[in-house]
């Protein structure tokens, strides 16, 4: 995971995308020890709430069993029947001692679990008849010994309740005997890490000892300016800096007393040589070295990953790390591990541990038996659901017993969770495909008159609702969508920024630099303000540093501490008013309001300074042609066309960057939108586009803007360049956008329990503004939480369809593409990687918030200005915080692409990264034929025709009529405006 200042959504198992999805999940679970699906109880909760239907489970089982579901298993029924019963009923299991207590202390042996009274009576009758036969049969003596509860002569006088109680006791005994006859063992791989082997023997955690040293050292090494003192020898690399700090005799923990001498011994080695020596001394063979090093890195994966990011993508942070830092990190970790082991074993640090490790591995338990009670208790529950009596089970042969237990244990908790998850995904997939199939029959047709204005947005799921509301309040508005960097890949530095930022998808490394500059007439004022801003920043930094010293800290706390509480309390109690006051103060230090982007390069080669900044005119024309072709906006231009980047601006949120534009590496996309508008307004660029067959009318003017997704504010750039002839067009567009923003805020507020369900649009706008400025607010917005769908095609496919803010929308017109599907290939090259990364990071952060995600925000502390830790020292937390994902439903993203099968095949062949994601099932995908709107779903390596199971959708005249009064996820609906 990269730095939180430039958050990039990535599949947490991105390195495994060359494997099929299920295999990748298994490998990821083995490597990281994190869950890859929800627990069985959480899926059952969704079953109760209607997010999974019985039909979904039945269909999933039929697909998974693939024709083998009719094999007979147990006294009656099939494999399909058995598995369905295990899904529909809670399967409980526990340690053997807990099961014994449960059976002894509860009514489990006297009360049926099935809840079916008729079935229970039938089983009791069967057991009664069976017991009576056995009592008077040739083997009565053996039966009485096995069932002392039945005294000869008393059976005929038992009541029905007594027989019912006996039938359950008999069932348990039969299940227990059957389980005893089939004891099996399962191999368990031995641990390869010394920490695991030593922890088993002694209970001492070597990781804790090593990481108490590594964590603060890593924090100081990668620090971007937060530390009071800069680490000496940082520029010499991790290895040399660690030698300098710990290689001298000093007061150390007892277990570290041998560290200085060991560092002096290996000082002449390179990090690579030290790693080789450490592996040899630790007794790690060459064959297992790769797996061993992987597991040692993942033991502190947050810090190791950040060091790798700072080395590999130094362009995304202010102070890049020296090359080779990750290798040096590993060399230091292995030295610390050897020192810790040497102290634990009372041996020299350079003594070989090969024999010791081999002995520990031999002692490691390699076999694990399934307790009889657990196996019997599973069958005891299943028998009651299936209506199997003790009499029916006792008639099974030994081979039938083996088949029954084998089938039960094949459908273990992991297999059941997989089935639940596939059913969960199927439920939404069927809803989405049905909705698109029905809605495509009534495609929206543009009005005969030209659009009042056109606007282009990011593909972000949050823009789905904004576009829908805009089209409701202004039917003559036409909207499009593209990845939010709008084809403008650049390193960008604003007029008040300290460093360049990469504004493009993570897979792209920009080659061009762009800056924002104050117009020349205000340059002198800008210089004065910049000096004041610099002095203020230095003073603030000094106060920050001195407040952490003993003497100055006490003085500052005593003198200014009380005053500091005033803005603190105000930001919590009166967030909007305090924000306005703070805005007035900020304007004093803000740059002059009129600025321009420096986007035209005057030299041959791009660079970071002077005339090398910017693009050539041909490059600008190429960018303009590309984005207009990809969105389908090559003709029919209105007088005003707006490009809106998006960002989220809120207070006290270390994870702010993950709410910004994922296609802009976790920054706001407004500079990209502004740059594109400036390019397309340039007459020289338009001339080059005309030569390429793309004619933009002289009356068309382009504007760049920003949609603040936290407050739903709209900001426009370069309005001073707007021609007077377009003022009326702009005012009409602005009014429509402001109304849409209020309605969008109202829809968002249905998710916030702090807002009443009957809130008005105006009050909703005020409410979201207050949340963004509230110092105590942990959920300023939910970002892309609940994303589940991505539609790539013409707007007519989705205009007027309520999609509950769950869909990425990507504009694409197959009629404008060539035979090689070049445009679609470019679109999917960015969209598949970005959107699947967003979806899968939400997926993993939800299913295991503590393992894959960042956990709760509440204990987070910003570290090194690059990440967050829990408390004072922990691994860096990667993934998303729980407060940002808690309304999410973890399903793989469903792509619905308006294209033909041959086009997709060419694209997957040309782009292996896209091919891996699509073919290996990291996303789901379907195609819609551009001519017939026929749907086909990709399953098991082939496209299968899809037939909708519904013919109509609910209809409302506006979105509010559908979402009003609801907090949870909503189904699809058609928004059909009334004739008025």
| Token pair 């031995």 in the structure block, residue | 190
Q: What percent of the chain has pLDDT over 90?
A: 66
In this predicted model, what pLDDT tens digit does every residue of 679-693 receive, in sequence order? Answer: 999 999 999 999 999
Which residue pairs, CB below 8 angstroms and at least 24 apart, start in 26-35? 31/294, 31/295, 31/298, 32/298, 32/301, 32/851, 32/852, 33/851, 34/844, 34/848, 34/851, 34/852, 35/847, 35/848, 35/851
**Closest alpha carbon to 898 in 791, 972, 743:** 791
What is the largest distance, in Å, between two alpha-carbon atoms of the chain? 113
Rounded CA gap, 481 and 632, in Å? 10
Distance between CA atoms of 888 and 891, rounded to whole angstroms?
9
Phi and psi at 195, nearest 5°, equal: -60, -45
Determine what percent of the chain is predicted with pLDDT higher than 70.
92
**Rounded average pLDDT over 723-745:** 97
> Whole-angstrom Cα distance, residue 143 to residue 975?
71
Which pLDDT score, from 0 to 100, does residue 188 have? 47
The number of CA neighbours under 13 Å toward the Cβ of 207 is 16
Q: What does DSSP say about strands 490-493 and 501-503: parallel, antiparallel, or unpaired?
A: antiparallel
Average pLDDT of the chain?
Answer: 89
Is the pLDDT at 157 greater than 60? The verdict is no
Question: What is the torsion angle, in degrees rounded to the nearest 10, for the CA atoms of residue 663, residue 666, residue 671 and residue 676?
Answer: 0
Give pLDDT, residue 496: 87
Quote the pLDDT of residue 152. 44
Stronger pLDDT, 634 or 127, i.e. the higher one: 634
Q: Where are the alpha helices (DSSP H) in 692-821?
A: 727-749, 761-773
Report pLDDT digits (tens) over 89-114. Answer: 998 888 877 877 777 777 666 666 66
Tell me: the pLDDT tens digits for 908-948? Answer: 999 999 999 999 999 999 999 999 999 999 999 999 999 99
Phi first, then psi: give them for residue 78, nearest 5 degrees. Answer: -120, 175
pLDDT band at 382 (very low <50, low <70, confident <90, very high): very high
- Residue given tokens 């005309």 in the structure block: 690
Mean pLDDT is lowest, of 322-331, 517-526, 692-701, for: 517-526
- Res. 358 pLDDT band, cuts 50 70 90: confident
Query: If pLDDT is split at 50, 70 and 90, which confidence band does 506 have?
Result: confident
Runs of H (alpha helix) within 204-270 = 206-222, 238-246, 259-265
CB atoms within 10 A of CB 426: 20
Spatial distance between the Cα atoms of 698 and 734, rounded to a whole number of angstroms: 22
Structure tokens at 67: 């024709």
The span from the CA of 817 to the CA of 815, in Å, is 6
Question: Residue 891: what pLDDT?
Answer: 97
Closest Cα to residue 614, out of 564, 675, 655, 559?
675
How far apart, in whole angstroms, are the C-alpha atoms of residue 816 and residue 821?
A: 9
Mean of pLDDT values over 226-232: 83
Nearest to 671 by CA among 517, 813, 835: 517
Cα distance between residue 254 and residue 257, in whole Å? 6
Least confident of 5-14, 106-115, 371-380: 106-115
With beta carbons less than 8 A apart as the criterion, state whether 715 and 670 touch.
yes
pLDDT band at 149 (very low <50, low <70, confident <90, very high): low
Where is mean pLDDT largest: 154-158, 159-163, 561-565, 812-816? Answer: 812-816
Indicate if the pLDDT at residue 727 is higher than 80: yes
Are the beta carbons of 606 and 510 closer than 8 angstroms?
Answer: no
Q: Which of 676, 675, 696, 672 is nearest to 686 (CA)?
A: 696
Q: Which residues contact 176 (CB under 8 A, 6 or more apart)?
A: 372, 373, 376
CB atoms within 10 A of CB 797: 21
User: Is the pLDDT assigned to residue 242 strictly greater than 80?
Assistant: yes
| Nearest by Cα to 838 from 923, 960, 753 | 923
Burial of 365 (0-12, 13-18, 19+ CB in 10 A): exposed
Structure tokens at 356: 């010791």
pLDDT for residue 979: 67
pLDDT at 151 (0 to 100): 45
pLDDT tens digit sequence for 577-596 = 777 777 766 766 778 888 99
CA nearest neighbour of 755 among 730, 729, 724, 777: 777
Per DSSP bridges, beta strands 955-956 and 867-870 are unpaired
Q: What is the DSSP letter of 89?
A: S
* Residues β-bridged to residue 701: 640
Q: What are the structure tokens assigned to 249, written together?
A: 């005799």
pLDDT above 70 (res 164): no
Neighbouring residues of 559: CB distance < 8 A, sequence distance ≥ 6: none
Q: What is the pLDDT of residue 549?
A: 75
pLDDT at 161: 63
Phi/psi for 778 (5° steps) reads -90, -10
> pTM for this structure?
0.92
User: CB-based contacts of 915: which residues, under 8 Å, 6+ apart?
Assistant: 907, 908, 909
Question: pLDDT value at position 111?
Answer: 67
Residue 283: C-alpha distances to residues 194, 277, 289, 293 (Å): 10, 10, 10, 13
Averaged pLDDT for residues 276-302: 93
What residues contact residue 590 under an 8 Å CB cut-off, 6+ apart? 496, 529
Residue of 860, 832, 659 whose CA lies nearest to 7? 659
Q: Provide mean pLDDT across the span 869-890.
A: 94
CA 516 vs. chain centroid, Å, equals 33
Greater confidence (651 vs 438) lies with 438
Distances (CA, A) of 840 to 39, 428, 882, 919, 923: 18, 16, 15, 16, 9
Write the CB contacts of 54 (distance below 8 Å, at least 6 apart in sequence).
88
* Contact by Cβ (8 Å): 422, 915: no
Give the torsion through C-alpha atoms of 140, 143, 145, 151, to 10 deg. Answer: -70
Neighbouring-strand partners of residue 935? 928, 946
Q: What mean pLDDT is predicted for residues 891-906?
A: 97
Write the DSSP symbol of residue 712: T
Rounded Cα–Cα distance for residues 181 and 401 (Å): 9
Residue 704's DSSP bridge partners are 643
Higher pLDDT: 979 or 49? It is: 49
Cα 900 to Cα 429, 433, 440, 865, 970, distances in angstroms: 20, 17, 16, 47, 30
Q: Give the residue among 580, 963, 956 at the shortest CA–CA distance from 761.
A: 963
Distance from C-alpha of 14 to C-alpha of 30, rounded to nearest angstrom: 15
State the Cα–Cα distance between residues 31 and 16, nearest whole angstrom: 11
Measured CA to CA, the distance from residue 217 to residue 304 in angstroms comes to 12
DSSP string for 178-190: HHHTT--EEE-PP
């Amino acid at each position: 995971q990269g730095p939180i200042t430039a958050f990039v959504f990535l599949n947490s198992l991105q390195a495994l995308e060359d494997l099929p999805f299920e295999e990748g999940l298994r490998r990821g679970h083995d490597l990281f020890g994190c869950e890859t699906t929800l627990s069985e109880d959480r899926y059952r909760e969704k079953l109760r709430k209607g997010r999974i239907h019985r039909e979904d489970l039945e269909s999933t089982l039929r697909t998974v069993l693939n024709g083998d579901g009719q094999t007979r298993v147990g006294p009656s029924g099939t494999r399909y029947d058995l598995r369905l019963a295990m899904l529909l009923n809670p399967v409980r299991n526990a340690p053997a001692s807990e099961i014994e207590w449960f059976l002894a202390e509860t009514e489990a042996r006297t009360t049926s679990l099935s809840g079916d009274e008729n079935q229970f009576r039938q089983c009791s009758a069967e057991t009664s008849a069976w017991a009576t036969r056995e009592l008077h049969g040739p083997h009565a003596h053996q039966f009485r010994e096995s069932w002392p509860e039945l005294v000869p002569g008393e059976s005929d006088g038992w009541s029905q309740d007594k027989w019912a109680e006996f039938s359950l006791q008999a069932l348990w005994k039969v299940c227990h005997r059957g389980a005893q006859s089939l004891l099996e063992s399962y191999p368990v791989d031995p641990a390869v890490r010394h920490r695991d082997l030593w922890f088993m023997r002694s209970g001492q955690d070597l990781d804790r000892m090593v990481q108490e040293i590594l964590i603060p050292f890593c924090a100081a090494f990668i620090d971007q300016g937060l530390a009071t003192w800069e680490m000496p020898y940082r520029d010499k690399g991790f290895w040399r800096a660690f030698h300098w700090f710990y290689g001298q005799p000093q007061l150390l923990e007892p277990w570290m007393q041998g560290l200085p001498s060991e560092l002096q011994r290996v000082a002449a080695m390179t990090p690579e040589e030290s790693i080789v020596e450490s592996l040899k001394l630790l007794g790690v063979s060459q064959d297992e070295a790769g797996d061993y090093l992987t597991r040692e890195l993942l033991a502190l994966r947050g810090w190791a990953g950040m060091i790798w990011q700072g080395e590999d993508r130094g362009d995304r942070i202010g102070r890049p790390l020296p090359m080779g830092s990750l290798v040096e990190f590993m060399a230091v970790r292995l030295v610390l591990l050897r020192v810790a082991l040497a102290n634990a074993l009372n041996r020299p640090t350079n003594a070989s541990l090969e024999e010791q490790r081999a002995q520990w591995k031999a002692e490691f338990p390699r076999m694990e038996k399934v307790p009889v009670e657990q196996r019997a208790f599973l069958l005891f529950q299943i028998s009651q659901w299936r209506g199997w009596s003790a009499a029916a089970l006792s008639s099974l042969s030994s081979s039938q017993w083996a088949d029954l237990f084998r089938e039960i244990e094949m459908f273990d908790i992991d297999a059941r969770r997989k089935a639940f998850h596939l059913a969960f995904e199927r439920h939404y997939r069927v809803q989405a495909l049905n909705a698109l199939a029905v809605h495509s029959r009534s495609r929206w047709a543009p009005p005969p008159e030209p659009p009042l204005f056109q606007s282009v947005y990011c593909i972000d799921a949050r823009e789905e609702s904004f576009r829908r509301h805009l089209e409701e309040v202004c039917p003559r508005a036409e909207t499009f969508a593209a990845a939010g960097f709008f084809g403008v890949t650049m390193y960008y530095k604003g007029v008040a920024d300290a460093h360049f930022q990469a504004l493009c998808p993570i897979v792209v490394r920009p080659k061009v630099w762009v800056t924002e500059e104050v117009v020349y007439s205000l340059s002198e004022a800008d210089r004065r303000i910049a000096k004041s801003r610099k002095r203020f920043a230095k003073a603030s930094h000094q106060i920050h540093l001195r407040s952490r010293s003993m003497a100055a800290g006490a003085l500052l706390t005593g003198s200014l501490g009380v005053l500091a509480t005033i803005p603190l309390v105000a930001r919590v109690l009166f967030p909007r008013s305090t924000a306005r006051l703070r805005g007035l103060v900020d304007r004093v230090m803000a740059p002059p309001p009129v600025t321009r982007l420096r986007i035209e390069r005057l030299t041959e080669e791009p660079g970071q300074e002077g005339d090398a900044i910017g693009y050539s005119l041909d490059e600008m024309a190429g960018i303009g042609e590309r984005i207009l072709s990809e969105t389908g906006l090559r003709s029919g231009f209105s007088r005003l066309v707006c490009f809106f980047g998006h960002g989220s601006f809120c207070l006290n949120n270390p994870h702010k960057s993950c709410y910004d534009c994922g296609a802009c590496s976790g920054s706001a996309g407004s500079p990209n939108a502004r740059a594109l508008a400036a390019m397309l307004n340039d007459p020289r660029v338009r001339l080059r586009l005309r030569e390429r067959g793309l004619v933009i009318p002289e009356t068309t003017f382009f504007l760049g803007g920003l949609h603040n997704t936290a407050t739903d504010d709209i900001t426009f750039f370069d309005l001073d360049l707007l021609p007077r002839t377009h003022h009326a067009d702009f005012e009409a567009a602005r009014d429509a956008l402001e109304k849409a923003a209020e309605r969008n805020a109202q829809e968002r507020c249905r998710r916030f329990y702090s807002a009443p369900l009957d809130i008005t649009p105006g009050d909703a706008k005020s409410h979201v503004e207050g949340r963004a400025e509230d110092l105590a607010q942990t959920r300023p917005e939910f970002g892309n939480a609940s994303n589940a769908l991505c539609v790539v095609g013409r707007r007519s496919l989705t205009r007027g369809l309520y999609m509950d803010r769950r869909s990425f929308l990507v504009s694409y017109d197959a009629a404008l593409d060539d035979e090689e599907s070049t445009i679609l290939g470019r679109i999917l090259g960015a969209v598949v990687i970005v959107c699947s990364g967003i979806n899968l990071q939400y997926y993993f952060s939800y299913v295991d918030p503590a393992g894959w995600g960042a956990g709760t925000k509440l204990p987070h502390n910003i570290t090194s200005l690059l990440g967050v830790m829990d408390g004072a020292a922990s691994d860096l937390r990667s993934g998303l915080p729980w407060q940002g994902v808690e309304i999410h439903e973890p399903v793989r993203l469903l792509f619905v692409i308006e294209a033909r099968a041959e086009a997709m095949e060419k694209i997957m062949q040309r782009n292996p990264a896209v091919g891996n994601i699509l073919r290996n099932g990291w996303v789901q995908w379907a195609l819609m034929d551009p001519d017939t709107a026929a749907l086909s779903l990709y399953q098991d390596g082939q496209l299968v025709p899809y037939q909708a199971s519904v013919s109509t959708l609910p209809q409302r005249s506006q979105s509010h009529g559908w979402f009003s009064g609801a907090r949870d996820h909503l189904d699809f609906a058609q928004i059909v405006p009334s004739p008025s």
